[in-house]
Structure 1
Amino acid sequence: MKRVILGLSVVALGLTSCGTQKKIAELETKNKEVQDLLNTCTIKLNSTLAEKQALANQVDYLKQNTSDLISNVGNLTMLSSKGAENLEKSLESLKEKDLKISRLQDAITKKDSVTLALVRSVKKEVGFDDPDIQVNVEKGVVYISIADKLLFKTASWDVNTNAKNVLAKVAKIAQSKPDFEVMVEGHTDNVPIKNATMRDNWDLSVKRAASIVQVLQHDFNIAPERLVAAGRGQYQPLVANDSKEDKARNRRTRIVLLPKIDQFYDMIEKEMKELAKQ
């Protein structure tokens, strides 16, 4: 019976990891589509800026012609109807280009501002000043990497009492951002492990992730539906496992804060697609 229960647990953990992998892959695909669209619109923006400059030069030329006519004739009524019509069209076209540029720049600025605000907010909340804790943001996703020596004993998945001081800061961020999902990833080095309670590094990484998730839920009241436990085993090392120090770097727990930015991206995509049609 114990073997059956253990087997079912492993299958469940495997399914959780697969589901997480699929979700991350979908998010990365979504980000790539938006980035491709952003690059296309950036090219269009540069082209539009060039057109704007050409129109501005044309306006200056027409204004100079107008000034010369006024000076020579001494009467505004002598301005040819053709010159006035061209000047009016140029000014109208210039106004339209300015509006397009402003809308596109606003969309790009909003995306950059969200990412920047996210970085500043997390670093301010965490206040980490420890080489064993790293905070960074990639494509709008926050990653907090914590060396396993701060959380666990060797080959154990029991969370240290002192580790809860670190996890309390992570929980504070999660509590301040209720629309974020919190995914915990366990990572190991490449040293094989097998004993009565663990089959391999996959097993250890998943159990450590599950332990952190349980602390966040039970000790810091993070809603369980926001939490995801995932194991990466030894297969996403930061550096080659060539030394004791490098192996220690690879043994880590990574906490990923995933903002629900679908609505934001939908807004940007809609705006950029409209501009691309013009």
Structure 2
Amino acid sequence: MIRIISLTDAGERLGKRLANEIEGSELWHKPKPFTEKVQSAFTDGDRLILICATGIAVRTLASVLKDKYTDPAVLVLDEQGQFVIPLISGHEGGANDWGKDIANLLSGQLVSTTAKAYLKPVYTVGMGCERGCPSDHLADLLDDCLIKVGLSLDDIHSISSIDIKSDEVGLIGLAKQIGKPFQTFDVPQLETVEEQLSMRSEYVFGVVGVYGVAESAALYASEQVTGEKAELMLVKQKTAKATCSISRSYRV
């Protein structure tokens, strides 16, 4: 869910415009109690567009920030919509790319402080699953993950997994269905990104030899495409049958 929050009459006008243009969004004008409502939306994982001063946004969210891997994206806009600031989760949460889209929508200016804002991002998906997992189940999981970071299938470079899944019919079928390459990597290759994992599963390690299939495959695939260090844009998301993660690196 996307929450658009305004505090002034001019901000409300801009908020209504955005709510009409952005699917899955809802405008809150002067929500009360303000801090509690905004913090609750944030901790529930809602993406936020705050039409207010940056200082208000920072003070409101400071106490509920956790880490760049799990915090949802937050944008701050002036009430005229001239400037769009990716405030929280620029890389991992997709605020930088989302901010660019909103700036284009409003014919405004993206104000990004990231050092890599001018580089072209490459997004790769890592997936793991139980044997025989249907491609439809994997497709639903992937769609959910893309929505969480504001990406579409067109943004994705490839689907990757561990080599023991090289013959996994569901993964092969998913890649064919969305028209993306499917590739797998062996344990020594995936071990090279071990330090970058957001979490480690001893159970998974005992079964396949790495601490996480989805995150490892996503990270390693990104680095193979660009030759640059990758970062997790979306940490492992899990269903009863599969896992999915999204990584990003930049073409220099």
What is the TM-score with the length of structure 2 in the denominator? 0.29
The structure whose Rg is larger is: 1
- Decide which structure has greater strand share: 2
- Decide which structure has greater helix share: 1
